[in-house]
Amino acid sequence: RKEVEQDPGPFNVPEGATVAFNCTYSNSASQSFFWYRQDCRKEPKLLMSVYSSGNEDGRFTAQLNRASQYISLLIRDSKLSDSATYLCVVNVGFQKLVFGTGTRLLVSP
């Protein structure tokens, strides 16, 4: 089983739609979780950390489900500029992160 698994997509949604991505992880000892955004041929950029209680940043909401070992990212009111690949990232040891292969989102007019 891969350490971090994501649906590669693409998820094709119209502007204004709500879309959600899930990501599963295999290491039950993981304590830190993140979502990064990566535009085509660019570096990943930290979108948000995922806390046990869940967290929200504007149109973005991240949730953690430790029992089922998955994290989710919800994007409300999608914008064209949200089109990107979203990387699920999980720590698997001291200072060590594992990156998922990403879920591609395409928002159309």
Partner 1 sequence: DGGITQSPKYLFRKEGQNVTLSCEQNLNHDAMYWYRQDPGQGLRLIYYSQIVNDFQKGDIAEGYSVSREKKESFPLTVTSAQKNPTAFYLCASSTDGSYEQYFGPGTRLTVT
Q: Which is nearer to partner 1, 78 or 86 (CB)?
A: 86
Q: Which is nearer to partner 1, 21 or 34 (CB)?
A: 34
Q: Which is nearer to partner 1, 32 or 52 (CB)?
A: 32
| DSSP codes, the chain | --SEEE---PEEEETT--EEEEEEE--TT---EEEEEE-TTS-EEEEEEE-TT-EEETTEEEEEETTTTEEEEEE-S--GGG-EEEEEEEEEETTEEEE---EEEEEE-
- Does position 42 bind partner 1 by CB under 8 A? yes
- Does position 1 bind partner 1 by CB under 8 A? no
The residue from 87, 103, 105, 107 that contacts partner 1 (CB under 8 A) is 87
Residues in contact with partner 1 by CB under 8 A are 4, 32, 34, 41-46, 49, 87, 91, 95-102
